[in-house]
C-alpha cells in the first residue's frame, strides 16, 4: 500500500509541479500585490511597499468602482443568465428531434458566433452598430432615421454582442443533455395526458438540472472576464456607461499604471465569480 502511494505520487508530481508554477504561485502573488502600492511607473515603481488594506479602502470609496460593479451585474444578468442560458436552452429545445439538415443549418449559424474570436466579433459588431452600419441601413429601409447605437444604447449593444458570441456554447451543452433524456419517459407522460409545458417543467428541466447549473457557472465565469469585446466596441464608454470590472481594472492597471490597485480589483472579480458559482449550486441543490 505504501509503495503504491509512492508510485502514485511520482505519477502526479509533474502535474502538481505545473499547477504550482503556473497556477498557485501566480494566485498567491496576485493576492500579495493587492496589498502593495505596486505601480508601472513613477516613484512607487521603485519603492514597492505593503500598504495594508489601502487599495481596498480606496476601492470601496471610489464611485467609479461601485458603478463598475453595477455595470458588471447588469451585463452578467442580461448577457449571460437571461441571454445565453435562456436563449441557448430555447434553441436547443426547438432543435430537439428535428430534421438533421435543419439542425445542421441552424447549428452552423449559431456556432459561427462562437467560433469567431472575441476581437473579430467586436469588429463585426462595431460595423453592425456604427453610424453607417448594417443596422442603420436596415432600419433605413423602413424610413427610420439612423441611431447612434454605440452612443445612445451602449450597454444594449455590448449585451447583444456577447449573446451572439456565447449562445452557441449553451445551446450545445443543452443539446447533448436533452439527447440523453430517454424518449419513453416523455412518451409515457404524453400518454398520461401531460401538456407540453408540464413535460418541460416537471420532466425535461429537472432531468437536465445538472447541465443547467454547470453551464450557468461556466457562462457566468466567462462573462465576468469579458474584456476585449467591450473594450474594442466602446472602450468602457461613453463616459463610464459600459465600464465593467475588467475594463475598470485594465484602466487602473494600464492607463493609470496602478498595478496594486488593479490586482485588488481582480480579487474582487474573483470573489464575485466564487459567490455566483456557490449561489447557483445552492439554489439548484446540485453537488459538483
Q: Which is nearer to another protein, 130 or 214 (CB)?
A: 130
Q: How far is the CB of 20 from another protein (least distance, A)?
A: 12
Q: How far is the CB of 131 from another protein (least distance, A)?
A: 5
Q: Which is nearer to another protein, 169 or 261 (CB)?
A: 261
Q: Which is nearer to another protein, 46 or 287 (CB)?
A: 46
Q: How far is the CB of 155 from another protein (least distance, A)?
A: 13
Q: How far is the CB of 57 from another protein (least distance, A)?
A: 9
Footprint of another protein on this chain (CB under 8 A)?
A: 7, 10-11, 13-14, 17-18, 21, 39-46, 58, 61-64, 130-131, 148, 150-151, 234-235, 237-241, 251, 254-258
Q: Which is nearer to another protein, 40 or 93 (CB)?
A: 40
Q: Which is nearer to another protein, 16 or 284 (CB)?
A: 16
Q: Which is nearer to another protein, 47 or 99 (CB)?
A: 47
Q: How far is the CB of 238 from another protein (least distance, A)?
A: 4
Q: How far is the CB of 27 from another protein (least distance, A)?
A: 19
Residue 273 · residue 246 · CB < 8 Å: no
Amino acid at each position: 500500500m505504501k509503495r503504491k502511494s509512492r508510485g502514485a505520487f511520482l505519477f502526479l508530481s509533474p502535474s502538481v509541479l505545473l499547477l504550482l508554477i503556473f497556477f498557485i504561485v501566480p494566485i498567491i502573488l496576485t493576492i500579495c500585490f493587492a496589498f502593495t502600492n505596486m505601480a508601472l511607473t513613477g516613484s512607487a515603481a521603485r519603492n514597492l511597499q505593503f500598504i495594508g488594506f489601502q487599495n481596498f479602502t480606496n476601492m470601496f470609496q471610489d464611485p467609479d468602482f461601485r458603478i463598475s460593479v453595477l455595470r458588471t451585474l447588469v451585463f452578467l444578468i442580461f448577457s449571460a443568465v437571461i441571454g445565453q442560458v435562456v436563449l441557448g436552452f430555447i434553441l436547443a429545445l426547438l432543435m430537439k428531434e428535428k430534421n438533421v439538415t435543419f439542425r445542421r443549418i441552424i447549428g452552423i449559424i449559431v456556432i459561427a458566433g462562437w467560433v469567431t474570436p472575441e476581437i473579430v466579433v467586436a469588429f463585426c459588431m462595431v460595423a453592425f452598430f456604427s453610424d453607417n452600419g448594417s443596422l442603420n441601413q436596415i432600419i433605413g429601409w423602413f424610413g427610420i432615421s439612423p441611431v447612434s447605437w454605440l452612443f445612445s444604447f451602449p450597454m444594449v449593444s455590448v449585451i447583444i454582442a456577447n449573446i451572439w458570441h456565447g449562445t452557441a456554447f449553451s445551446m450545445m451543452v443543452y443539446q447533448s443533455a436533452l439527447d440523453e433524456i430517454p424518449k419513453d419517459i416523455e412518451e409515457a407522460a404524453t400518454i398520461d395526458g401531460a401538456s407540453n409545458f408540464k413535460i418541460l417543467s416537471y420532466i425535461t428541466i429537472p432531468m437536465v438540472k445538472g447541465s443547467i447549473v454547470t453551464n450557468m457557472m461556466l457562462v457566468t465565469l466567462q462573462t465576468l472576464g469579458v474584456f476585449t469585446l467591450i473594450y474594442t466596441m466602446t472602450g468602457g464608454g461613453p463616459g463610464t456607461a459600459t465600464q465593467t470590472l475588467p475594463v475598470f481594472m485594465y484602466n487602473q492597471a494600464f492607463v493609470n499604471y496602478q498595478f496594486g490597485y488593479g490586482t485588488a480589483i481582480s480579487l474582487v472579480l474573483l470573489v464575485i465569480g466564487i459567490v455566483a458559482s456557490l449561489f447557483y449550486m445552492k439554489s439548484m441543490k446540485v453537488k459538483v
